[in-house]
Every structure is written in C-alpha cells, then in structure tokens.
Chain A
Amino acid sequence: MEQKPKSNLALTGSLVLLVFAMFGFGFALVPLYDVFCEITGFGGRTNTTAAVVEEAPDTERTVRIEFVTTLNQHAPWTFGADVASMEVHPGKMYFATFTAKNLTDGIKVAQAVPSVAPISASDHFKKIECFCFENQEFLAGESRAMPLQFIVDPDLPDYVDTITLQYTFFDTLRVSASD
C-alpha cells in the first residue's frame, strides 16, 4: 500500500500553536468573566463609578436596605455602618454614612469593595456617590464618616423586598505600593 509521507513537523507545530492559544484563552477568561459579571450581576457586582439616575419616587412601595460590613483578615481598623438598615422608596435618593477608624500609628489606605444580594437586585441598586469608588486614606488614629448616596431603581423585581449591601474593607497598602 502506498503511503504518503506525513510531516511530523506540521502536526507538531499546529499542536504547539494550540497549546499557546489555550494558554492565552486562560487569560482571556479574565475579561470575559468581568463582562459576564457586569451583564448578569453575577457575584453581586454593582456599579463602581457614579451612576446618573433621574429621581422618580414610587411612594407606594417600600424596600428594606440592610448594611453589612466586614474587615478583611484582621485589618487594623474599625469599620461599620452608622445605621444598620433603612426603609426606602424606589426611585428616591437616600444618604447613608459609614464610619471607619485607623487603629495604627501610621498612614493607612483602605478600599471598600461592595457586593449586593440578592443577585437579581445588584443591577438595580445604583450608587450615585460612594466612598468605595476610590481609595480612602486615613492618618494615624484618624476616624471619619464616609458618605454613600444611592437610589433603588423602580424596575427592581417585585419579589425583592430586602436588599443587602455588603462592604468588605481591605487594607490596600500592599496593592497600592506595587501599582
């Protein structure tokens, strides 16, 4: 039987290309994941830059907003919401404040990372202004109230009557030092 000589080099080359393509695909998953989360609200993602929303209060409906705060890995801070929860009307703007204190003798920089539950509400919780939009610098021993201005979108699904906003407070010196 006649057999055409086959090129090992060509096949090996294409397989090596496939290896590099899959290595790249691993990294491509990072932006893909971000896009996926932003579209679906997966992971409780909310807006990280100021949202522009018209006020259109729906006074018939009341939604309970609960604030939860967490410190990451025994960070040397105190951090908490000044009120634990609020009753709000969708479409109306509200203010809340969170107070943090630097317990160390040096300058500290913190970053708060928000997460909203349930997932179906994360797209409808709009932050107009938030201390979580940027790093917060605290002098030694400084204590400060930080503002949050938000509006709940009237399109919030009917079955949601409670929204939990959770902030984790990270000590960012390691991150910002290497930026």
Chain B
Amino acid sequence: MKIGIFDWFLDTFGLRKPIRLGIYGSVNVGKTTLANKIALDWTGEEIGSISAVPHETRFVQKKEKVEIKHGGKKITINLLDMPGLATKIDYRDFLKYGIKRKEAKERAKEATQGVIEAIKWLNNVDTVLAVMDATKDPLTQVNATLLGNLEAKNIPVIIVINKIDLKNAKPENIKEMFSQYPSVEVSALTGKNIDKLYEMIAKYARR
C-alpha cells in the first residue's frame, strides 16, 4: 500500500496518533534486546540496558514516535518495553550473579513493582508483542495468562519467537502451541528475520 494524500496530511500536520506497542513476556526472553533492535533500526538510539541477570528491566522504558516503514506503509509507534512478568521473584536468585544480599532484595522489590506496572500498562497499549524464548517450553503460566487476558481485552497480539539463533531453539513448539495467533521467528540479537517482524507490525498493529 502506497502512502496516500490522507496519510501525508495526517503525518505532515502531526494528526496521526502513534500506536502504543507494548513488549510483554516472561523474564529474560529478550524483550529489551528486541526493543533496542527496533529503536536502533528506526531512531538510531537504544532504549535500555540488557543483562544476563533476570529482571534487568524493572521500570517501563519508552521510545516515542518511532516510525516504521514497510512495503510503502508507514506507521508511527510509541515503543514500550515492559518489565518481565513473573509469578515468583526471589532475591536469592540474584545472589549467584554476585549481587549483594541488600541489593538483591531491593532488586526483587523493584521487579515486583515492575510486574504491577507492566500489568497496569495493559490498559494503555494498543498492540502487544508477546515475546517468547524459542529455547524454552512455551506453556507457562505467564504466557497462558497474558495471552488469555489480551484476548479478553481484544488487544491485537503478535507472538515474537525470539532467540532462533541458538542451537537448541525449537520455534515450532511455540507455533504449534499458539497457532491461533500471528507469529514471527526472529533473533533480536543478530537481527535475523527482523524485517518479517516489521512486516507483521505494519500488518497487525492498530490503535
């Protein structure tokens, strides 16, 4: 689809409201790596720091007015990188990464606040990228609860099957499990298939 005169008018006069695109998923599935990749590709700037330590993102991170162009279509999004959803957060899990006890407890507290924030933000997102780790079993309480809730709220969702660059990745498991949702297999780290993701965003993202 080509950009028409109406689109040009909306864009020129800033009348088009950006689509609020929320990146959701469990902990350490690569949400921030993906957000960074999208932000870097379209704005030249990253959105947040990444780490092997779980719950690195404990606050909602935003990058506003990111313009994504694909196949003659241009959409403007507000990119929202959410803290990882979890059902249990234990400070002892952070100790093995060399984090001191006091800091680990604070991290656990912030991570819990992050989960609450991410859930609250569900009222303010238009489309969700549900990120899943292709090397892990997708049938988790987080995935099932999140997808069920998005469906109930009628929020469009695209499943992003991440980490396909890893040898033990089994993206077919996720595709099979959640076949009713549009999905795309990517590696946010290497950028593999990222164009397909942009194609999906251009196709499915809506306000």
Our verdict on whether A and B bind, yes or no, reads no
